[in-house]
Structure formats: C-alpha cells, structure tokens
C-alpha cells in the first residue's frame, strides 16, 4: 500500500477540495505529513457519507434505494480495506486504511462513525438533547478523536480527546442548525422530538409556515449549543503542536462562524443557506495564527465543564 500512497493522497486531496472548502482551507496550515493524513481520513469519511446518503461530495441527497444495503456496502468496503484486500479498487477506503495503520487509530472510532450512518439508515430521530449529542458524537465527535490522533495525540490521552470530540460536536451542531430546511426536504429532522413537541411543531412538517418563529427559536438554541462545545474544544489546543493548533483554531473559527450566523438570525437561516465568506475565512486564518501562538495563555488548563455531554469510553 505504501507504493500507492502518492495516488491515495492525491485522490484524498481532490476529495476535500470538492467536498469542503472550509476544511481544505484549514488543512493547509498543517505540516505536510499531518496534512496528507488529514486528507486521507477526510476522504474515507466523505466516501462513507456519500454512500450512505446517495450524494456526491455532500451535494443534494438523492433517493438511496435500500439504506441498509448501502450501510452494508460501506461496512464491507471498510472491512476489506482494513484487512489489506489488494483487490479492493477504492482509493477512498484504501486511504482510510492507510492512515489508520500509520497513526494506529483505534478501530472503535471508525466503528463509531459507521454507527452514525446506521442510525440514519434506520430512520432514527433524536428524542432528547442527549440523543442529539449522541448522534453528533457518532457522525462527528468520533472523527474529531481520530483527527486528534492524526495530529499526534496519544490514543490514551482522554482529556485531549474529549476536547477534540467537543470540536466535532460543535461542527455537527452547526451543520444541524444550518441545514434544518435541507434536512426537512430530504425527510430528515435532527432536532429533538421533545423540543418540537414542547413548541407545538409537527416533526413530520417542521417547515410549515405557522411554525417558523418557534422553529427559528429551536434552531438558534442548537447554534448556541455549538458555541459552548467550540469554546471547550479550544481549550485542548495547548496539547497540540503549533501548526496543528493553528489549523484547529482556524477550523473552529471558520466553521463556528456558521453557528454564529445562525444564532444571530435563525429565521434567516431557515430561508437561505448560511456560509462563511472568503473574507471571513481569511480573517480567521490570520486570527487563529495569533491565537495559536498565545494558546497557553488564552486557553490555560482547566477541568472540562461537567455539564457538557460525555463521550462513550
């Protein structure tokens, strides 16, 4: 597999360029080895997501036929790649196996991510806030843990991995707050059913005009939650090398900007897709460099807030 590495990295680089401008921008701040490994991990995650949702690099969700068959497919491809199956002609999955081997990523994190796709395949919806955060862990928090290990965090450094998980939770909460309308159009709803019921919102038709003010309040609530987890994640950056801390803080600022835009005007976020502009991205790249240099002072060691959700061990 090592002889194929340049081709696998090239495929992963193309994938992140197509799938996420925000993450691609932040990844440029890593040293070369970490950057390539981050691309490889992203490529595998993106491929799994696309298979599960019938997308092409995160585009509009298409009819997925049998979702359980798609889930079985991505499980099988992952298993074959991790087993070193030379007959698997799939660079995204081969790249995922390569970075897992190079960084000794615990298998449980890869399995935890796939479990998130399983929840979607089953048509699962969160009933409570705890359910929502558990889902966010499976589809993003586990990725945060894997990315931290790619950056050199030891697999048994639970305190730093907790902060990395928090960044994943923040990103997914931002996604959910931004994508309420898009998810509803695809027959999905990631807002806790208890919250919707308390607001008198029909979970099968959350975008009904008469529900918009109440729905906006819930959307803003999710965006505010994202900010709390982003703040917690920032406090893990002193454990990272400078360039990795810079990349993490840039990603936190760029992607966190989505949640901040939603929190500022949740009603507008239901009408138009929120994004961070090129100017905002550039601003966060520069600001994050200063934050990374001062990270020990800005984010001194402190116990993680016990009110925050705890990832499974």
Cα four-point dihedral sign 161, 165, 168, 174: negative
Q: What pLDDT, on a 0 to 100 scale, did the predictor assign at position 252?
A: 95
Q: What pLDDT, on a 0 to 100 scale, did the predictor assign at position 258?
A: 95
Binned at pLDDT 50, 70 and 90, residue 116 comes out as: very high
Instruction: State the Cα–Cα distance between residues 25 and 37, nearest whole angstrom.
Output: 15
Q: What is the pTM of this model?
A: 0.93
Q: What pLDDT, on a 0 to 100 scale, did the predictor assign at position 108?
A: 97
With CA atoms as reference, report the closest residue to 216 among 225, 226, 230, 206. 206
Answer yes or no: is pLDDT of 265 > 90: yes
Instruction: State the Cα–Cα distance between residues 2 and 225, nearest whole angstrom.
Output: 42
At residue 169's C-alpha, the angle toward residues 164 and 170, to 5°, is 95
Average pLDDT, the chain: 93
Q: What pLDDT, on a 0 to 100 scale, did the predictor assign at position 2?
A: 56
**Mean pLDDT throughout 278-307?**
96
Burial status of residue 272 (CB atoms within 10 A of its CB: 0-12, 13-18, 19 or more)? exposed
Q: What pLDDT, on a 0 to 100 scale, did the predictor assign at position 59?
A: 47
Binned at pLDDT 50, 70 and 90, residue 53 comes out as: confident
Binned at pLDDT 50, 70 and 90, residue 88 comes out as: confident
Answer yes or no: is pLDDT of 120 > 80: yes
With CA atoms as reference, report the closest residue to 77 among 96, 64, 104. 96
Answer yes or no: is pLDDT of 287 > 70: yes
Give tens-digit pLDDT for 31-42. 999 999 999 999
Contact 73, 61 (CB under 8 A): no
Q: What pLDDT, on a 0 to 100 scale, did the predictor assign at position 285?
A: 94
Binned at pLDDT 50, 70 and 90, residue 24 comes out as: confident
The most confident of 10-19, 49-58, 226-235, by mean pLDDT? 226-235
Binned at pLDDT 50, 70 and 90, residue 87 comes out as: confident
**Mean pLDDT throughout 45-59?**
79
The fold for domain 125-313 equals Farnesyl Diphosphate Synthase (1.10.600)
Percent of the chain with pLDDT over 90: 86
Instruction: State the Cα–Cα distance between residues 208 and 147, nearest whole angstrom.
Output: 39
Give tens-digit pLDDT for 132-155. 999 999 999 999 999 999 999 999
Q: What pLDDT, on a 0 to 100 scale, did the predictor assign at position 25?
A: 85
Q: What pLDDT, on a 0 to 100 scale, did the predictor assign at position 89?
A: 86
With CA atoms as reference, report the closest residue to 110 among 85, 84, 153, 147. 147
Answer yes or no: is pLDDT of 99 > 70: yes
Domain boundaries, the chain: 1-105, 125-313
Give tens-digit pLDDT for 62-80. 555 789 999 999 999 999 9
Give tens-digit pLDDT for 211-259. 999 999 999 999 999 999 999 999 999 999 999 999 999 999 999 999 9
| CB-side neighbour CA atoms (13 Å) of 189 | 19
**Mean pLDDT throughout 194-198?**
97
């Amino acid at each position: 597999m090592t002889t194929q590495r340049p081709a696998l990295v090239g495929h992963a680089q193309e994938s992140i360029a197509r799938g996420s401008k925000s993450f691609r921008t932040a990844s440029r701040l890593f040293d070369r080895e970490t950057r390539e490994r981050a691309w490889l991990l992203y490529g595998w995650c993106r491929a799994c997501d696309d298979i599960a949702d019938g997308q092409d690099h995160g585009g509009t969700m298409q009819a997925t036929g049998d979702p359980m068959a798609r889930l079985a497919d991505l499980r099988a491809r992952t298993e074959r790649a991790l087993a070193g199956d030379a007959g698997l002609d799939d660079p995204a999955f081969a790249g995922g196996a390569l970075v897992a081997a190079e960084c000794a990523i615990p298998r449980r994190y890869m399995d935890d991510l796939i479990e998130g796709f399983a929840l979607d395949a089953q048509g699962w919806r969160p009933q409570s806030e705890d359910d929502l955060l558990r889902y966010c862990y499976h589809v993003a928090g586990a990725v945060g843990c894997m990315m931290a290990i790619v950056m050199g965090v030891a697999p048994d450094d639970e305190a730093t991995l907790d902060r990395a998980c928090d960044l994943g939770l923040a990103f997914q909460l931002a996604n959910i707050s931004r994508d309420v309308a898009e998810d509803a159009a695809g027959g999905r709803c990631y807002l806790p059913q208890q919250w919707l019921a308390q607001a008198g919102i029909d979970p099968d038709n959350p975008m009904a005009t008469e529900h918009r003010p109440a729905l906006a309040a819930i959307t803003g609530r999710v965006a505010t939650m994202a900010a709390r987890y982003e703040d917690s994640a920032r406090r893990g950056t002193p454990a990272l090398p400078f360039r990795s801390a810079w990349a993490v803080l840039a990603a936190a600022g760029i992607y966190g900007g989505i949640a901040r835009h939603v929190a500022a005007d949740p009603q507008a976020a239901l009408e138009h897709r929120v994004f961070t502009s090129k100017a905002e991205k550039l601003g966060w790249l520069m600001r994050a460099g200063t934050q990374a240099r001062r990270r020990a002072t800005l984010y001194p060691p402190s116990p993680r807030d016990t009110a925050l959700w705890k990832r499974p061990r």
